Amino acid sequence: MSISDITEIPRSTVVRKLKILLKLKILTINNNKHYSLTGTLIKTLMPLQNIVLKRLSNFSIKVYNLIIL
């Protein structure tokens, strides 16, 4: 439900897409219904995530500095 709330995508669409990702073994689900990425995908996405976070950090610093001036 929270994925649907955050993305404003209909719940049925989210459930359908999650089932596809589970079938492809891109996601796993635990007993508490929490989804997580599989190990191979994490290794692929981690460098990209670091780049995105660094760029977001630089952007945030620039905006913060503009506000202070």
DSSP label at residue 63: H
**E strands within the chain?**
27-29, 35-37
Distance CA 50, CA 23 (A): 28
* CA pair distance 35, 27, nearest whole angstrom: 6
Instruction: Tell whether the model's pLDDT for residue 9 goes beyond 90.
Output: yes
Prediction pTM value: 0.58
Q: Which residues contact 66 (CB under 8 A, 6 or more apart)?
A: none
Q: Supply the pLDDT for residue 1.
A: 62
Q: What is the pLDDT, as a whole number, of residue 69?
A: 66
Give residue-wise pLDDT tens across range 18-55.
999 999 888 999 999 888 888 777 888 889 999 999 99
Joined tokens for residue 3: 């994925």
